[in-house]
């Protein structure tokens, strides 16, 4: 019974995201994810403040950036463009993260 309710909630979330995202998929693509994690890891390695509570033994900036992305706390925006020059700016917390 709970799987039915979960799938119902997912369908509702997919419809909401599809109404907002007009260009491209409703998911964060693996290329966008790699770009975001790489850019954020670089910021962290240069001393930017960490936005989530991290475990004490975690020192790898890439792992920390992945943790921040998974918590959907990053204030970043993706710009998706069409070949005709049309574009849409989408905050990454609006997109759906696929499970790894």
- The span from the CA of 26 to the CA of 16, in Å, is 10
Please count the other Cβ atoms lying within 10 Å of the Cβ belonging to residue 22: 11
55 part of a folded domain: yes
Q: Give the model's confidence band at 9: pLDDT under 50 very low, under 70 low, under 90 confident, else very high.
A: confident
Q: In the chain, how many domains are there?
A: 1
Segments forming the whole domain that contains residue 30 = 2-91
- The span from the CA of 67 to the CA of 37, in Å, is 9
27 part of a folded domain: yes
pLDDT at position 1, please? 46
pLDDT at position 2, please? 61
- Mean pLDDT, range 19-35, rounded to an integer: 93
pTM over the 0.75 mark: yes
Tokens 């770009």 — which residue?
35
18 part of a folded domain: yes
């Amino acid at each position: 019974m709970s799987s039915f309710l979960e799938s119902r909630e997912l369908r509702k979330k997919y419809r909401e995201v599809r109404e907002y995202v007009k260009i491209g998929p409703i998911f964060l693509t693996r290329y966008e994810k790699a770009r975001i994690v790489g850019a954020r890891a670089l910021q962290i390695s240069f001393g930017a403040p960490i936005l989530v509570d991290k475990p004490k033994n975690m020192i790898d900036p890439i792992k920390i950036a992945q943790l921040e992305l998974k918590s959907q706390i990053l204030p970043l925006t993706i710009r998706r463009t069409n070949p005709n020059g049309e574009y849409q700016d989408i905050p990454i917390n609006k997109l759906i993260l696929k499970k790894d």
